Structure 1
Amino acid sequence: MKTTVDPSQIESLVRLAIARALGEPVPNAVDTPKLVVSISARHIHLTDEHVEKLFGKGKKLTPEKNLYQDGFYAAAEQVMIVGPRRRMLPNVRVLGPTRKASQVELAHTDAISLGIDAPVRHSGDIAGTPGCVLVGPAGAVELHEGVIRAARHVHMGPKDCAYYGVKNGDMMSLVVKSPQCSVVFEDLLVREDKAAKLEVHIDTDEGNACDLDHATLVELRKQQPCKCQEH
């Protein structure tokens, strides 16, 4: 009879053996952290100044739905994105709270429909990126930069990082097994924060590619160096 060994169980056993060898306290059990994989649809982050320009003087974002990460929410406010040659995407959700710089996050298909050559960047890394025009009920804002395709990433707390043996800035792989659509996503950036809950963010194109809604297995793995680097 063929036996299948869960890699996470092996990692847990190795950690326990190391802890015992070092004389460190050994927990009664090592629980696998709850893994959430979320599809991040097109959205916008705004500065306080741009909120007022788009929605009216003195206007603040109106929290409508809390996101999985504590303190973050989808606002009731929406805007239209206008790209080159006046191509438009209406009703794009604003996420809160506000930020120091406005940023538009799109999937590749969104960027194509707008006629924008948006690069893959991590959130906040917007220097030299394309811009667009945002149109709200009270006015418009021209962004000279800030349109990106958000690079996939994983939010982790300190305990999650310890469990997987990674640290902030490391890369991980996400295994998604779906009928006829199994995919391994590499280069997930680890974003560690004391308040973070374990959550992977991929965009709508990536979610559709792996048929995430019908996935039978999702698993995080520490990314290993390419074997070709050994030659």
Structure 2
Amino acid sequence: MSAVDIAGLAKEDIERVVRTVLAKHLRPAAAVPSKAPNPLLVNISARHCHLTDEHIEILFGKGHKLKPTKWLYQKGYYAAEETIAVVGPRRRMLPEVRVLGPSRGASQVELAFTDSISLGLDLPVRISGDVAGTPGCLLVGPKGSLELKEGVIRAMRHVHMSPADMAWYGVKNGELMQLKITSPGCSTILEDLAVRGGDDKIKLEVHLDTDEGNAVNLTKATKVELLKSAGGSCGCHK
């Protein structure tokens, strides 16, 4: 704050200058609302896959378009009517893995830990879209099949946040948080919840996989809270 020359001013003028300076420099940040801008929702994200337009045509036929059967919490995203079989090493298979829409720029399969055991795959925990160096699999649809060279992951638990949500909780895209869950017999705190920052249209939503949701008895939870971690980043903002 630069110096203000008040020499020779009358008392009332000094008071006016002081009030003006304080109002300018000590005003609370308007970007942070007085209460949480959005309610917190925690959802279980079951095994699913994302497909490119090219792979949709290979698996379901030329010119095929995904058919929405259930709209998801985030606007514009949906569970499709279509399912595929995911085949791992030694022909171990998950016969009906739901396709989520809309189509993406790269195909990807997201599974829980028990799914990876069933398939015989050692899957890394990754943020969606971070598939470099991950295992592949065989995808089989009603009209064809294809070998996915990479793209099978265990999805890292994460929370979708708008800019207002991130301001309220005091976090940035890529940082890690904690999720405190109060439920009968198995209340716990889940560490390493990655912040996925988006635009103003994003709703505040946590995604856990089926193993995590079952372990904390999420369907019977009486309270869920987001907490700031001591520090750390998942690297997904790079």
TM range, normalised to the smaller chain? 0.7 to 0.9
Distance 2:153 2:33 in 1: 45
Q: Partners of 1:20 and 1:34 in 2: how far apart?
A: 32
- SS of residue in 2 equivalent to 1:130: coil
Q: Judging changes above 3 Å, is the alpha-carbon distance between structure 1 residues 180 and 32 closer, same or farther for their aligned structure 2 residues? A: farther
The CA deviation at 1:21 is 7.4
CA distance in structure 2 between the partners assigned to 1:88 and 1:182 by the alignment: 34
- Cα distance in structure 2, aligned partners of 1:119 and 1:202: 16
Give the 3 Å change call, closer, same or farther, for CA 21–178 of structure 1 in structure 2.
Answer: farther
- Following TM superposition, by how much is the alpha carbon of 1:163 offset from its aligned partner in structure 2, in angstroms? 0.8
In structure 2, do the counterparts of structure 1 residues 164 and 86 end up closer, same or farther at CA, with 3 Å as the change threshold? same
Instruction: Please report how far the alpha carbon of residue 69 of structure 1 lies from its aligned counterpart in structure 2 after TM superposition.
Output: 0.5
Match of residue 134 from structure 1: 139
- Residue number in structure 1 paired with 2:225: 219
Q: Which runs of 5+ in 1 are unaligned?
A: 1-18, 227-231
2:53 to 32, 48, 55: 48
Q: Which residue of 2 aligns with 1:77?
A: 82
Instruction: Determine the C-alpha separation between the residues in 2 that align with 1:77 and 1:192.
Output: 29
- Offset at residue 208 of structure 1 (A): 0.7
Q: Which amino acid aligns with 1:23?
A: R
Which of structure 1's runs of 4+ aligned residues deviate more than 2 A?
19-22, 24-33
User: Rg: which structure is higher?
Assistant: 2
2:56–2:64 contact (8 Å) kept in structure 1: yes
Select which of 4, 23, 26 maps to 1:22: 26
Q: Partner residue of 1:10?
A: none
Distance 1:155 1:42, change over 3 A: same
Gaps of 5+ in 2: 1-22, 233-238
SS of aligned partner of 1:187: strand
Matched, 1:145 2:150: yes
Q: CA 1:186–1:21 in 2, change beyond 3 Å: closer, same or farther?
A: farther
Taking a change above 3 Å as real, the CA distance of residues 217 and 54 of structure 1, as seen in their structure-2 partners, is: same
TM-score, reference length from structure 1: 0.85
Confirm or deny: 8 A CA contact 2:176 2:231 kept in the other structure. Answer: no
The correspondence for 2:184, drawn from 179, 182, 186, is 179
Distance 1:111 1:24, change over 3 A: same
Q: 1:25/1:113 Cα in 2 relative to 1: closer, same or farther (>3 Å)?
A: closer
**Seq. identity, %:** 63
Letter in 1 for 2:129: G
Q: Deviations over 1:58-105 (max 9, x none)?
A: 111111111000111101110011111111111110001111110000
Opposite residue 169 of structure 2, the aligned amino acid is Y
3-state secondary structure, aligned to 2:227: strand
Judging changes above 3 Å, is the alpha-carbon distance between structure 1 residues 21 and 119 closer, same or farther for their aligned structure 2 residues?
Answer: same
Comparing 19-28 with 180-189, greater Cα deviation is found at: 19-28
Aligned residues: 208
| Pairing partner for 1:93 from 71, 86, 98 | 98
Structure 2 counterpart of 1:37: 42
RMSD: 1.9
State the shift of 1:24 in Å.
3.7
